[in-house]
Amino acid sequence: MADPSISPPLTRSSVEAAHRLIKPFIHETPVLTNSTLNKLASTPRTAEELAGTEWEGRDPAKPVIRFWFKCENFQRGGAFKVRGAFHAVERLKREPGWEEAGGREKGVVTHSSGNHAAALSLAALTSSIPAHIIMPSNSSPIKIAAVRDTYLANLTFSGPTTPEREAAAARVVAETGARLVPPYDHPDIILGQGTAALELQEQFARLNQGNDKKKLNAVITPLGGGGLISGTALACSPSSPEDEPIHVFGAEPTLDGADDARRGLAQGERIDWIGPTRTIADGLRIPVGKVPWTIIHDRKLVRAVYGVSETEIKRALRLVWERMKVVVEPSAVVPLAAALYNEEFRALIEKEGGEEGWDLGVIFSGGNVSLDALEALFKEE
């Protein structure tokens, strides 16, 4: 991995430069709307729906929400992760002395539960560079198959926790001399991931051409290690002091303490470890990284992070499949679940959006889920 000290600054202009660099390797994924989901989100929840929740007895929020879904499930590799992986690899190839030192033969290494593993494998394969991938033993079978069989990476399994994954990666680095490309905790990764939100803004403007008053009010993303949300926050930073800000929010599952960023913001300190979690949002089973935390917390470029339950994730997942006819993985719908079911977030939109409401960008982070997993997921209900 390129030395972080020589990475571009963490700014919107650097996200724009990253987009120019990786554009030949990625898809400009579509932005979709859905009137049924807009109507559901803009309908107050009933007292019965709020019974048993932390909002029981409160007046339901009455927001007006128009969704704009950035569908990274249609991205190469099935997820946004290729943006950061291709940016990291392309910058590594341009690092002075890397090729002369045998970097192309030694390759790259990472640890990931799936989407970044597949993304780096694809980026390395495209440049004819070996990829050494460490995956937790509980990773999704479809993601394991993509890494090993489709992208031909050298695969090693590890325990499920972040320290176990990092230790396995360190051993492979020592054995091979390969360069570490972390899944989220590096400026090059963050800048690459931010290109999704950059495209979303451009596509929103094109879709609303002729309506100068129409603007994207906010973007909400899933939050695991924090690469996507921190890159999104940079991409949504105003280009000039005259520009109105695009607010950035995150969403996490609350099961087994997976909402570490939300809790960390509440206590003012990053939580660097979470135990094994059973959340179905398997891509979000990791703590937020150090570099993303500087953007999320220290620079205050993310307004808030909201938590959702497993039941709410499943409900949102079913709505996307049935109403939009789009296949996404559970992690991808966590932001939608927050907009539909988290009364704190909904009340904020009602307060700040008023009768006009908000145009809310939602990044569907990926669609790597097997039919067997989908069947098992809803067979439990």
Per-residue pLDDT tens over the stretch 10-30: 999 999 999 999 999 999 999
Examine the domain organization and report whether 116 and 178 are in the same domain: yes
Flag whether 16 is in a domain: no
Examine the domain organization and report whether 291 and 220 are in the same domain: yes
Which of 186, 212, 247 is a domain's end point?
186
Give me the chain's average pLDDT, please.
93
Residue 2's pLDDT is what? Answer: 64
Residue 1's pLDDT is what? Answer: 59
Show the DSSP H helices in 275-328 as ranges: 290-293, 310-319
Examine the domain organization and report whether 179 and 232 are in the same domain: no
Flag whether 89 is in a domain: yes
Examine the domain organization and report whether 359 and 217 are in the same domain: yes
* CATH code at position 298: 3.40.50.1100
Q: Is the pLDDT of residue 68 over 90?
A: yes
Flag whether 17 is in a domain: no
Flag whether 49 is in a domain: yes
Q: Flag the least confident range among 57-66, 278-287, 289-298, 370-379.
A: 370-379
Per-residue pLDDT band for 381 (boundaries 50, 70, 90) equals low
Residue 168's pLDDT is what? Answer: 94
Which of 151, 186, 221 is a domain's end point?
186
Examine the domain organization and report whether 182 and 123 are in the same domain: yes
Examine the domain organization and report whether 251 and 362 are in the same domain: yes
DSSP state letter for 269: S
Examine the domain organization and report whether 215 and 358 are in the same domain: yes
Name the domain count of the chain.
2
Examine the domain organization and report whether 177 and 278 are in the same domain: no
Residue 150's pLDDT is what? Answer: 84
Mean pLDDT on 201-227: 93
Out of 70, 81, 143, 314, the active site residue is: 81
Q: Is 81 a catalytic residue?
A: yes
Out of 14, 113, 140, 237, the active site residue is: 113
Mean pLDDT on 354-376: 90
Mean pLDDT on 31-48: 97
Neighbour-count burial of 68, counting CB atoms closer than 10 A to its CB (0-12 exposed, 13-18 middle, 19+ buried):
buried
Q: pLDDT tens across 141-190, in order?
A: 877 888 988 888 999 999 887 788 889 999 999 999 999 999 999 999 99
Flag whether 25 is in a domain: no
SS3 helix, strand, coil % of the chain, rounded to 5?
Answer: 50, 15, 35
> Which range marks the domain in which residue 229 is found?
30-74+194-379
Q: pLDDT tens across 244-254, in order?
A: 889 999 999 99
Which of 186, 215, 249 is a domain's end point?
186
Neighbour-count burial of 273, counting CB atoms closer than 10 A to its CB (0-12 exposed, 13-18 middle, 19+ buried):
exposed
Examine the domain organization and report whether 175 and 129 are in the same domain: yes
Q: Hunting for tokens 């009137």 — which residue is that?
A: 35
Rounded to 5 degrees, what angle do the CA atoms 343, 346, 348 make? 110
Query: Which residue, among 263, 283, 340, has the nearest Cα to 308 in the 3D structure?
Result: 340
Flag whether 240 is in a domain: yes
Q: Is 113 a catalytic residue?
A: yes
Examine the domain organization and report whether 260 and 198 are in the same domain: yes
What phi-psi label fits residue 202: left (phi over 0), alpha (psi between -120 and 50 degrees) or beta?
Answer: alpha
Flag whether 260 is in a domain: yes
Residue 199's pLDDT is what? Answer: 98
Instruction: Indicate the SS3 state at residue 65.
Output: strand
Give the separation between CA 206 and CA 197, rounded to whole angstroms: 14
Examine the domain organization and report whether 268 and 371 are in the same domain: yes
Query: Which residue, among 69, 10, 63, 59, has the nearest Cα to 41 in the 3D structure?
Result: 63
Flag whether 10 is in a domain: no
Residue 316's pLDDT is what? Answer: 98
Residues 6+ apart with CB under 8 A from 300: none
- Tell if the pTM clears 0.85, that is, is over it: yes
Examine the domain organization and report whether 43 and 113 are in the same domain: no
